Chains A and B, each alone.
Chain A
Amino acid sequence: MRDTPTRSTHKGTERSGGGLAALLGGAALAAFAVYKGTSRNREASPAPRHEPLPSHIETSVDILRPSQELYSFWRSFENLPRFMRHLESVRDLGNGRSHWIAKTPVGSRVEWDAEVVEDRDGQLISWRSVAGSQVHHAGSVLFEPAAGDRGTIVRVSFDLVPPGGAAGRLAAKALGPITRQQVREDLRRFKNLMEAGEIPTIDGQPEGKRPLVNPRNPL
């Protein structure tokens, strides 16, 4: 009971500020989509441009909604900032291209253009930053009908590859490190939105006098 993570703050939202968006923009990270996680899409896997790092991030969430509905919401990229907390906005430029703006923890912005690599209606979306971007990234999401009429399993998977160039390293540093837990929190918010129509929160509710927080034990 006591061994909760030491990095925690009382607000899950604060804690998971990085998330998918930072991962995608996390240039450091020059993330590359791979589809190792599932046999279904292995054939769709593009060859990584770099050797994969051991820090492979792959996670999933089950959502009690039809895969087509989930695909459509995600494919409208401007929806992504609603559950990826690190994104400020995504604008669809047409022809499979989009412009992404991420917020850094210190308030600055990182921007890049992305293009859709593969798009299978109701099943799969993969994308990556266009050549020459400030940030190199790629990502993929797979919508897989769950057995037994239990909605859809949404799988996201990434390999992280080393950054290219000083600008990439700088942008990566600004966006901060990414954890699998942050990606999970982004996916959880996606599930909250699609199932319940809203993301649960206590931000803005009343509270009594709080003492000064001991940073070693914020809870």
Chain B
Amino acid sequence: MKAVCWNGAVDVKVEEVPDPKILNPRDAVLRVTSAAICGSDLHLYDGYIPTMKKGDILGHEFMGEVMEVGPGVKNLQVGDRVVVPFNIACGRCWFCEHELFSLCDNSNPNAWIPEKAYGYSPSGLFGYSHMMGGYAGGQAEYVRVPFADVGALKVPDGLPDEKVLFLGDIFPTGYMAAENCQIQPGDTVAVWGCGPVGQFAIQSAWMLGAGRVIAIDRFPERLLLAQSWGKAEIIDYEEVDSVVDTLREMTGGRGPDACIDAVGMEAHGDTLGAMVDKAKQAVRLESDRPHVLRECLLACRKGGTVSIPGVYGGLIDKIPMGASFNKGLTLKMGQTHTHRYMRPLLERIVNGEIDPSKVISHQMSLDEAPEGYETFKHKRDHCIKVVLKPGGNGHHHGGNGREHHA
């Protein structure tokens, strides 16, 4: 089959690789009908996530048709159309039983690596480094899905891939980011980063009762989408002297009740701190660039909450801990417990409350993946979200339009 393989920093190739097969009783193999490129794939693309190996198959946001199931999978059948969470979770350990699926104890074959770096290991992830299990990802014609009986969610016929694909990552990720804000009715929520996760955080903040949402970015098309689709007030951070001051003035000197860092480890900025981060990261003195996180901590009101869906991997410098402590902030973060949100968010899509396909700017064939990564990285051509269509050319909808039987 064809698959998108990582070959080093800023180097992905579409290669011919063996087809996946069932390796464990609870596995399934899917024929992939759609696979997105996620913002967090860009951290891999840029070479900032350790323990990647040349030849690793990328992709953690995908869906498809069940081709084969292992003997331990009783709730799926060949032909089912499913969307798959980016985390791999057993469903039976203490963490899974407490719906902390991204912290599953039993899905990372390389758990010893994060145990050295983090103390304890999070769950395995598709296509996201050997530290996170080394699982082959879904930017491919076929993919093996471990623990498919608890992960793969059947989706109704009649909804195109584009509306349900993002249940595997960015919609739940934006939703959990908003949920982590502990929004009280009328709260003001500020969202840094108007990429796909930021857009879903904005949508979700409204769903959870926000009174006001303020979105921060620098790309006009992203700010425009936040304004038009997200009904957010917007700040172009290149147009203001200080984002923190601007937010203070917009909120009458109080500050946002909650701040969301939907940017993570590769933040851009034009402050002195941001430039120092960039220099340090380039020579690996600092693994992550926490410019946005610093702004969130400084901008947030007293007693407020800072929610971090943006990915961090290692160490960060000059975090305003004094501000965080003395303002009594709450910090909530982590990889999304995707399984927890897929069903309720699918309901919202079925009910017509939200159309997640709004964030898609580009559809491409699998062969065009290298171009897709380049376009997405540099936000060329007003790129917001790229969806790859392994089944054929990039202009079809929903798995060749074949009938599916649930």
Choose among A2, A5, A10, A192 the residue that contacts B130 (Cβ–Cβ < 8 A): A10
Residues on the A chain within 8 Å of B140, using CB: 206
Count of chain A residues near B, Cβ 8 A: 40
| B interface: dominant SS | loop
Expressed in whole angstroms, the minimum distance between the Cβ of A180 and any Cβ of chain B is 11
Expressed in whole angstroms, the minimum distance between the Cβ of A82 and any Cβ of chain B is 13
**Residues of B1-24 contacting chain A, CB below 8 A:** 1, 3, 5-7, 13, 15, 17-21, 23-24
Q: Is the CB of B93 within 8 A of A12?
A: no
Choose among B25, B54, B284 the residue that contacts A209 (Cβ–Cβ < 8 A): B54
Residues on the B chain within 8 Å of A219, using CB: 50-51, 53, 130
Given contacts A192-B106, A200-B107, contact A205 B55 (CB under 8 A): no
Given contacts A4-B113, A5-B116, contact A207 B55 (CB under 8 A): yes
**Residues of B125-172 contacting chain A, CB below 8 A:** 130-131, 133-136, 140, 144, 146-147
Q: Is the CB of A151 within 8 A of B23?
A: no
Given contacts A197-B25, A197-B26, A205-B20, contact A64 B97 (CB under 8 A): yes
Given contacts A150-B94, A151-B94, A205-B20, contact A210 B55 (CB under 8 A): yes
Residues on the B chain within 8 Å of A210, using CB: 53-55
Q: In whole angstroms, what is the CA distance A85 to B24 when docked?
A: 17
Residues on the A chain within 8 Å of B112, using CB: 5, 12, 15-16, 181, 184-185
Residues on the B chain within 8 Å of A197, using CB: 25-26, 72, 92
Expressed in whole angstroms, the minimum distance between the Cβ of B16 and any Cβ of chain A is 9
B108 at the interface (CB under 8 A from A): yes
Q: Is the CB of A202 within 8 A of B90?
A: no
**Residues of B53-100 contacting chain A, CB below 8 A:** 53-57, 72, 88, 90-94, 97
Q: Is the CB of A4 within 8 A of B117?
A: yes
A106 at the interface (CB under 8 A from B): no
**Residues of B200-247 contacting chain A, CB below 8 A:** none
Choose among A2, A15, A204 the residue that contacts B21 (Cβ–Cβ < 8 A): A204
Q: In whole angstroms, what is the CA distance A125 to B277 when docked?
A: 55
Residues on the B chain within 8 Å of A206, using CB: 1, 3, 17-20, 57, 136, 140
Q: Is the CB of B54 within 8 A of A1?
A: no
Choose among A150, A200, A201, A207 the residue that contacts B57 (Cβ–Cβ < 8 A): A207
**Residues of A173-219 contacting chain B, CB below 8 A:** 181, 184-185, 188, 191-192, 195-211, 219
Q: Is the CB of B15 within 8 A of A209?
A: yes
B39 at the interface (CB under 8 A from A): no
Residues on the A chain within 8 Å of B55, using CB: 207-211
Residues on the A chain within 8 Å of B266, using CB: none
B406 at the interface (CB under 8 A from A): no
Residues on the A chain within 8 Å of B6, using CB: 208
A68 at the interface (CB under 8 A from B): no
Residues on the B chain within 8 Å of A196, using CB: 26, 90-93, 106-107, 147
B305 at the interface (CB under 8 A from A): no
A192: nearest chain-B partner, CB-CB:
B106
Q: In whole angstroms, what is the CA distance A16 to B110 when docked?
A: 11
Q: Is the CB of A198 within 8 A of B17?
A: no
Residues on the A chain within 8 Å of B110, using CB: 10, 12
Interface centre among B105, B136, B144 (most CB of A within 10 A): B105
Q: Is the CB of B24 within 8 A of A200?
A: yes
A-B contact pairs, 16 of them (CB 8 A): A4-B51, A5-B116, A10-B134, A11-B109, A184-B112, A192-B106, A197-B72, A198-B24, A199-B109, A200-B109, A205-B23, A205-B136, A206-B1, A206-B20, A208-B17, A208-B55
The 8 closest A-B pairs by CB, nearest first: A208-B5, A208-B55, A196-B90, A1-B314, A196-B106, A206-B17, A208-B15, A210-B55
Known contacts A4-B51, A196-B106, A205-B20; can you find 12 more A-B pairs with CB under 8 A? A1-B313, A4-B50, A4-B131, A5-B116, A191-B105, A192-B106, A200-B24, A205-B144, A206-B18, A208-B56, A211-B54, A219-B53
